[in-house]
Amino acid sequence: MIKRLVLLASMAVLVFSSSAVSADEPEELVVFTAASLTGAFSEIAEMYEDETGIKVVSNFDGSQALRTQIEHGAYADVFASANNKQMNALKDLGLMNNSSVSIFTRNKLSLIIPKDNPAEISNLRDIVKPGVKIVIGTKDVPVGDYALQIIDKLGNDSAYGPEYKEKVLANIISQETNVNYVVTKIALGEADVGFAYVSDVTLELSSRVSQIEIPDEYNIIAEYPIGITTESRYAAEALDFINLVKSEEGRAVLERYGFSPVLDSVAASEVSGTTEEPMAAA
């Protein structure tokens, strides 16, 4: 009788322990991701799911919108931003695990135009022509902030002059809350030119959208930080996801989408509060 009770007690402990372990194992990981990373992170999420069996729930939006959602209590395990500003805002509020935050990739901007190019845009000077319809991001979304910095640089260069900036700003017909909306308007022919990331013109879009390079002296390095939120219940799994993003396989995906992944030694450094610098030869 005693042996039977001991056996039943042991079985109860085993069942309880198993239940406790399974309760700690996530069924899904929630990743808040800048809209410009949609293609690359969709692929990386599939890789993570295949390797771990854990579903990745992705929320793609403008970095400023994602930051606001987290500030207002939205749950996320990982946050990947298109600039340091939004990440640093969350760090300052104690909403990020600061030691987990690092730069994992870089990007830069280009002009994008519809394939049929009705406004006959071929360079930066053409966008000041009367009637040209320009679309950019809002000043709060990284791609919009970067575009305004580029326009400022051009206006401060004697080769273009202050009137250039005024004319460009006068031609802006729309400011979008994430870069995907900018690209969509150009692809649909609703505007003549937009400021978007080099990575945004994917193979899928190349039949409808063309790019015009912005010279490096006027361009901006867009640095993308990633980190684990302090509210994450699955920090170990979140770290595994980040390590996959920064792995050789993850960097290969990012490169295919037009990003410039940083080396591990650089990515390991914590995000600073400095602003982005002009794009050097990259």
Domain boundaries, the chain: 28-106+223-267, 109-213
Q: What is the rounded average pLDDT of the residues 82-108?
A: 97
28-106+223-267 and 109-213 in the same fold:
yes
146's tokens: 């970067």
* CATH class (in words) of the domain with range 28-106+223-267: alpha beta
Would you say how long the chain is, in residues? 282
Chain segment 159-204, per-residue pLDDT in tens: 998 899 999 999 999 999 999 999 999 999 999 999 999 998 887 8
In this structure, the number of other CB atoms found within 10 A of the CB of residue 136 comes to: 29
pTM above 0.85, yes or no: no
Percentage above 90 pLDDT, the chain:
78
**Tens digit of pLDDT for each residue in 255-277?**
999 999 786 544 444 444 433 43
Question: Quick one: how far is CA 171 from the chain centroid?
Answer: 27
Which tens digits make up the pLDDT trace of 212-253? 999 999 999 899 999 999 999 999 999 999 999 999 999 999
HSE of 10 in the Cβ direction (CA atoms, 13 Å)? Answer: 6
Q: In terms of CATH, what superfamily is 109-213?
A: Periplasmic binding protein-like II (3.40.190.10)
